[in-house]
Amino acid sequence: MDSTATPEQISLRVVVKKRKNRVLYAEAGKDFVDILLSFLTLPLGTIARLVSKDSNTKPCQFGCISSLYASVCNLDPKYLNSETCKQMLLQPRNPMERYNQKLKLNIDDTDPTKYYACDSCFYEDGSLVSSSENLKCECGGHSTFLLTPCKSLLCSGSDQNEIRDTRGYVKETAFFLIAEDLNIIPADLKTILCLLKNLHSKDPPQESTVVLGSNEILDLLKCLLMSKTALTDLLLGKEHSLVDSETSFETTDERRGRESTRTMKMKVLISKSKSKILFAQVEEDFVDQLLSFLTFPLGAVERVLEGNSGLVCVDKLYNSLNNFDSTGDFKSEKMKNMLADLKVAPYFKVNDQMLPIDELKCPSELSYCYSKLVRSYYLTSGKTLFSKPVARGLRMSDPKSPIMEEKSGNGYAKSRTKYMVADDLSVKPFSSHHVLSSLAKFKVHHHDLEERTICVGAQEVLSILKASLVSTSALRIGLNFFDKYY
């Protein structure tokens, strides 16, 4: 790699153990560390979409999340709660969108959030606003009038007043050491002296400067999901030290003691000889839990799995947050807390979400204002610097609802609909055609088939989520650790 960086590139100083063909650590400042932390804010569906693209390396599969995402691409919108639901799942909003927009290298290609007012009741106090275009309003109009959001709307609640600098996460002067597994350590004298002691050998390490562009950052995201040594694989072109999905998945403390009072019934078809789930017949409540996976930020998944997702480099990156000084490295303590407790974007949560991942809330007070300076209508919250509001007391609507309503919609999946979920979490409408074609693919004799009805609660959903990150058999692996099923 050329060591001279352009404005669209980032330079890293790298220390390499040449004989072992291994990156010992890299030195990085704000630009690169902001990018690493931004990976935690990406929804799983966004990651699946990004890693399916070519870069310097080939597209890769993100466990079962890729097949779940692909099945939504192929799903007829009539099987979802509204036409907007499909677009929401394929382009899930990043809850930290505001802080990622000015990253030096931002590989997230999701369209920025836009807001639309009803074309009929636009000037009325209490009218409805949506983050999705062309939704039907309760007055009979449609949300087609584009509004420019004030910066405060791109951040939630009190955060908008406490963190005004929206370019990334760490301070301009912060300096870090990054291990090959993406463990980030803020650099100080003690850390550097410890490294010098550990690196003392007859084979002294070599230093070099490398330059990263957008393709390399996308390559790093792919390595993050597949490897135990992402930085070495990226910078030295080394083959991935792949995570073994079968051995990396273990029952851990994050599921113990969390008995759910709510369960969902599902019918599973099992191959008795292989002790394998072929597919499940489920209703909309279970499908909503699966579709929600696509909207979860990677860091939020790490939190509910207590930093033990089975993706080694992701675990190291997330747990690195504990190494940071809240005010010395981050812009504020609030910023660190936001990254440690990531939420889904507003209106992306289903009402009956079984996992403890919350949703950002939109400001309760909204109004339209007109700026003569730029001749544009602005959507703002609270006090405004613009002229007198055109309309006050506006209500944000849930785009998942078939008709814009003040209350939240139920979820993504169409109610009273049966679905077929494969072992890799691909979702289809339930039909005899899909059943027969699946059985033909598995080549199993009907005497080898057994149908069982099982109950699934929060623990099982969490187990399936964890298995979906590291395998292509999320139902089999995720439920296999619950002995009552097998």
Over the stretch 255-305, which tens digit does the pLDDT of each residue have?
A: 444 455 789 999 999 998 888 899 999 999 999 999 999 999 999 999 999
Distance CA 142, CA 33 (A): 42
Over the stretch 124-175, which tens digit does the pLDDT of each residue have?
A: 888 888 888 888 888 888 899 888 887 666 554 444 445 566 889 999 998 9
Q: What is the mean pLDDT of residues 216-238?
A: 94
Distance CA 69, CA 237 (A): 29
Please give the mean pLDDT across all residues of the chain. Answer: 86
Over the stretch 409-429, which tens digit does the pLDDT of each residue have?
A: 579 999 999 999 999 999 999
Q: What is the mean pLDDT of residues 401-407?
A: 55
Residue 44 has pLDDT above 50, yes or no: yes
Mean pLDDT is highest, among 18-22, 25-29, 203-207, for 25-29
pLDDT of residue 274: 83
pLDDT of residue 385: 53
Residue 200 has pLDDT above 70, yes or no: no
pLDDT of residue 157: 45
Residue 210 has pLDDT above 90, yes or no: yes
Secondary structure of the chain in the HEC alphabet?
CCCCCCCCCEEEEEEEECCCCEEEEEEECHHHHHHHHHHHHCEHHHHHHHHCCCCCCCCCCCCCHHHHHHHHHHCCHHHECCHHHHHHHHCCCCCCHHHHCCCCCCCCCCCCCCEEEECCCCCCCCCEEECCCCCECCCCCEEEEEEEECHHHHCCCCHHHHCCCCCCCECCCCCEEECCCCCEEECCHHHHHHHHHHCCCCCCCEEEEEEECHHHHHHHHHHHHHECCHHHHHHHCCCCCECCHHHHCCCCHHHCCCCCCCCEEEEEEEECCCCEEEEEEECHHHHHHHHHHCCCEHHHHHHHCCCCCCCHHHHHHHHHHHHCCCCCCECCHHHHHHHHCCCECCCCCCCCCCCCCCECCCCCCEEEEEECCCCEEEEEECCCCCCCCCEECCEECCCCCCCCCCCCCCCCECCCCCEEEECCCCEEECCHHHHHHHHHHHCCCHHHEEEEEEEECHHHHHHHHHHHHHCCCHHHHHHHCCHHHC
Residue 97 has pLDDT above 70, yes or no: yes
| 201/367: higher pLDDT | 367
The answer to whether 370 and 377 have CB atoms below 8 angstroms apart is yes
| 444/70: higher pLDDT | 70
Lowest mean pLDDT among 15-19, 97-101, 167-171, 422-426: 15-19
Q: Which amino acid is at 126?
A: G
| 130/43: higher pLDDT | 43
pLDDT of residue 481: 63
pLDDT of residue 256: 45
Lowest mean pLDDT among 6-10, 85-89, 252-256, 463-467: 252-256
Over the stretch 245-265, which tens digit does the pLDDT of each residue have?
A: 555 556 554 444 445 578 999
Over the stretch 436-455, which tens digit does the pLDDT of each residue have?
A: 888 888 888 888 999 999 99
Rounded percentage of the chain residues whose pLDDT exceeds 90: 56
pLDDT of residue 140: 84
Over the stretch 346-365, which tens digit does the pLDDT of each residue have?
A: 999 998 899 999 999 887 77
Over the stretch 460-470, which tens digit does the pLDDT of each residue have?
A: 999 999 999 99
